[in-house]
Amino acid sequence: MNKETQDKLFSLYINKDDVREAMRSPWLDEKNGKVMASNGRHLIAISKETTVGEFPTRRMLASSIEGTRLGRIPVAALKEALGKLPQEDEYITTYEGRDCEECEGTGMVTVEYRSKDGDEYDIECDCPICEGSGWKEQPRKEKTGRTIPEALACININGLYLDWKYIDTLCQACAIVGVDSLECLTSDITDLLTFKLTENISVGIMRMFAFQETNSIKIEWL
C-alpha cells in the first residue's frame, strides 16, 4: 500500500478536533498488532507490515476485532440500502457563527440580586444580550441540493443496528481500496461488527444505542 492510499483511509476514521489525543492520529495497537485509527465509534485496522511510516504503540483495545465469519456483503447492497432509508435535505455550514462575548457562549450569566431585607444573592439566568442562545451571530447553513438518510436512520446487519454515516464511510473506504464486496465477522469486542475489506484491511463499527427501528434496512448475506 502506498502512503497516499494509506493516508486517505486513515483520514476517514480520525477526528483531528477530538479532545482525546489518541483519536487524532493512527496508532499501533498492542493487542491486535495492527495500525489503527478511530473516532471512538468506528475504526480501521491495517496490518503493520503493509503500512508506511512509524506509529506510537498504545494498548487501546483489550480484545481482538476479528471473530467468527458471518458471510459476505456486496458493497452495492450497502449503497442500495443507504438509498432506501428515509431521506432529508443535506446542509453545509457556510458560516461558523460567533459566540456571545457577554456569556462566552454559555447562554447564562450570573447577576446579583438584593432583597428588600438587604440580603444579596447570586442568581444564574439567561443572558440578556443573546437571550440565552449563546450566539452573537448564529451559524448559517445552506442546502446542498442533495438528500441524505435521516439522523437516526440505520442499517441492520446480523441484528446490530449501525449508524448509516459509518456505513457510508465504509463504502468510501471500499472505493479507495477498490473492492466490491467484503467479509463480515463478529468481534470479541461487545457491540462491534467487523468488515474485512482485504486480508490486511478491516473496519469495525459499533452498534447504535439510540435509533429508530422503523428507519432501518436489513442487509442479507451473499
Q: 43-90, pLDDT tens digit by residue?
A: 999 999 999 999 999 888 888 998 899 999 999 999 999 999 999 999
* Cα distance between residue 185 and residue 63, in whole Å: 14
Tens of pLDDT, residues 9-51: 999 998 877 667 777 899 999 888 899 999 888 999 999 999 9
Place of cell 475489506: 197
Q: What is the DSSP string of 162-203?
A: EEHHHHHHHHHHHHHHT-SEEEEE--SSTTEEEEESSSSEEE
Using the 8-state DSSP alphabet, how is residue 213 labeled? G
Gap between the Cα atoms of 41 and 18, Å rounded: 12
d(CA 54, CA 41): 24
Nine-digit cell at 146?
Answer: 442533495
Sign of the torsion formed by the C-alpha atoms of 77, 81, 83 and 84: positive
- Reading the block at residue 190, the C-alpha cell is 461487545
Phi/psi region, residue 191 (left: phi>0; alpha: psi -120 to 50; beta: rest), is left
The answer to whether 83 and 55 have CB atoms below 8 angstroms apart is no
Q: When comparing pLDDT for 220 and 205, which is higher?
A: 205
Whole-number percent of the chain with pLDDT over 90: 64
The rounded distance, in Å, linking the Cα atoms of 34 and 5 is: 16
* 164-177 helix and 75-84 helix, angle to the nearest 10 degrees: 150
Confidence at 180, pLDDT banded by 50, 70, 90: very high
How many residues can be counted in the chain?
222
For residue 204, the number of C-alpha atoms closer than 13 Å in the C-beta half-sphere is: 26
* pTM higher than the cut 0.85: no
pLDDT (tens digit, 9 = 90+) per residue, 123-141? 999 999 999 999 888 888 8
Q: What are phi and psi of 174, to 5 degrees?
A: -65, -40
Counting Cβ atoms within 10 Å, is residue 124 exposed (0-12), middle (13-18) or buried (19+)? exposed
The helix (run of H) or strand (run of E) holding residue 9 is helix 3-11
Residue 88 CA to residue 194 CA, distance in Å, equals 28
What is the pLDDT confidence band of residue 222, given thresholds at 50, 70 and 90? low
Model pLDDT, residue 212: 67
- The pLDDT of residue 211 is above 90: no
Kindly tell me the sign of the dihedral angle through the C-alpha atoms of 71, 75, 81, 82.
positive
